Chains A and B, each alone.
Chain A
Amino acid sequence: MSQLISRSDLTAWINALLAEYTVIAPTKVDSLALYQPVKRADDIFMDFGITALSPKEWLFPPTETLFTITTQDGTMKLEAPPLDGKNLIFAIRPCDARGFRLLDKVFLAPPADTHYAQRRQNTTLIGLACSKALPQCFCTSVGGAPNDASDVDVLLTEVEEGYLVNIVTEKGQAAVAQAKLIEKDVTPPSPPNLKPVSTEGIVEATLRAYNDDYWERLADRCTHCNVCAFVCPACYCFDVRDHINQGKTERLRCWDSCQAPGFTRVAGGYTPRPTKGARLRQRFGHKLLYYPQQYGDLLCVGCGRCIASCPVNIDIREVMEDLQKLGVKSVSARA
């Protein structure tokens, strides 16, 4: 027997959740699907393939204040920013939820990042299994699955009668407390088939290719924007700077990316990654070599956003394929 919620009860449930949580869900903004806070269930756009941006911004915001310092009458006061309330991300895709698992390893390793940890603890993830695969999807090749419930608190799967409700964690249990669930014998639909991408030996292959001309050739067409990093659910680089305004100092943390020429520039102007190839190698090195060496998993969830959004079609699947061939036989970069 499975637990099921009808479509009309789903609406009622979401409206009930809104009393307790800030509900962040896919919405239609112009021609885009984006995760945004919603005011009512009707604002939710369920027929999204994948949102333009991952929901990572709700745990790792593009801009956040780490602390403020104010000086008054010769006394300095250091204050932490106010805490966010309880958030619930509704209809998160399994790949995006897996992105949080990868961010957790970085931000929650001791000493944990206070801001991320607080948000993580206060956020409930209601997953939505994928009923179809897009041409850029490859989650099954990097450890995920279209119906993977391991990184969400509840997983919903759309069926004819409504949605199957798979409660995974206690947080999920709490979230469904107000949902009208019925027991019914429903066979879950089989997940869509994805074209596999080989990741065999990719860590070694990336290391082997470190000094190869491949990177400069690939970087020929790279424009060095930050699109790939900013749309990625697993990229987490940031810049920290103090903003001083009328006696108030604010320490800010904002998204940044290894593709920006200024990312590694140090005092005096020296840049250890001076060329486009060195910067592009850093991107793939981090995803396929450094992160896996440190944490085990590849730093990629196979959502395919970077593939679809790249202005010049730098395709991580193709890069992996090329790296596997390098050293085995000479391969000309698809630059």
Chain B
Amino acid sequence: MNQAIRDKAKELLASGAVSCVIGYDVGSDGINARPFFAYTEEEADGLAFDQTCTHNLVKYLIDRAGKATAIVVKPCDARALTVLINEKQVKREEVFIIGAVCHGIIESTWGQKGSDLQGRCQTCTQHTPLVYDLLVGEPMAEPTPKAPLDHRAATLANMSVAERAAFWAEQFQRCLRCNACRQVCPGCYCAECFVDQLDPEWVGIRIDLPEKWLWNTIRAFHLAGRCVGCDECQRVCPVNIPLGLLNHKLEEEVATLFDFRPGVKADVPAPLETFKKDEKLGIGE
């Protein structure tokens, strides 16, 4: 698999088809992968793919607009890429997609080798990316989910509104407003995020519960129908706020209301980007 990625990367760089290949190499702990940008054939030898390649790299493509780029994607990343292409943030013709067959990503922390699959991967039913120009790895039969969603999702669903509010207040209280969730999210690419706007100032600079609450909930709403569930926000959160729970909940709502899963089909806009006169959602009825 590594060799196939490296060979294709070298070929694309040598021919000038792309000027950069975005993939993974091994991080400074010698265990976990990290994003890697290869600009030369020599650098392409550093590319690698394994079950620690957790990062969703497609957001890097936005900064490379106008420059032909090859990118290594997992099935979830490929869906995020489709979202970005649908939303006109990335041009399909500028990207060479190296799709990697994915056996799930291992839950691990820096400096430690993990063994269990990440929660999102335990329920994932897609091992092969839906879009690619080159597929690497042996395609395999798509699995049925092995485990239920995060047990907290079920617990939350059974809570009263007040109990749920208390749960989130406790979680959001820890938020540092470091914006890591936004910075890694492929769906968060606004040139000026609402939280940074000064005029009008939607959210002040206070790092306090009302602002934390507003930030996390508005961000979740902005992602409704657009989040592919890569859980990068949750992974990078330095204080372990289970943001995936919010996103997954909204995705289920969107799926129920609109029969829509983001990033599955090209050229199908997200439900909240469209308005259909005949849509009846039972809201306010």
Contacts and interface: CB of A to CB of B under 8 A. Distances in A.
Interface of A: 29-32, 34, 52-53, 62-63, 134-136, 217, 220-221, 223-227, 229-231, 239, 241, 243, 252, 254-257, 260, 262, 307-313, 315, 317-318, 332, 335
B143 interface: no
B89 to A, nearest CB: 16
Contacts of B178: 225-227, 229-230, 257
Nearest to B43: A332
Nearest to A332: B43
B37 A307 contact: no
Contact of A221 (B28, B35, B180, B207): B35
Contacts of A227: 178, 180, 236, 238
A89 B208 CA distance: 22
Contacts of B122: none
A135 B111 CA distance: 6
Interface of B: 27-29, 32, 34-37, 43, 55, 60, 109-112, 174, 176-180, 182-184, 196, 204-208, 232, 235-236, 238-240
Nearest to A243: B204
Contacts of B35: 220-221, 312
A225 B179 contact: yes
Contact of A313 (B28, B60, B205, B235): B28
23 contacts: A32-B174, A34-B239, A62-B207, A135-B112, A221-B36, A221-B60, A223-B236, A225-B179, A225-B183, A225-B184, A225-B236, A227-B178, A230-B178, A231-B238, A241-B204, A243-B206, A257-B178, A260-B179, A311-B183, A313-B29, A315-B27, A315-B28, A335-B37
Contact of A223 (B29, B36, B184): B184
Given A62-B176, A229-B178, 13 more contacts: A32-B239, A32-B240, A221-B34, A225-B184, A230-B178, A252-B204, A255-B177, A309-B238, A315-B27, A315-B28, A317-B28, A318-B28, A332-B43
A217 B34 CA distance: 14
Contact of B238 (A53, A255, A335): A53
A129 to B, nearest CB: 21
Contacts of B180: 223, 225-227, 311
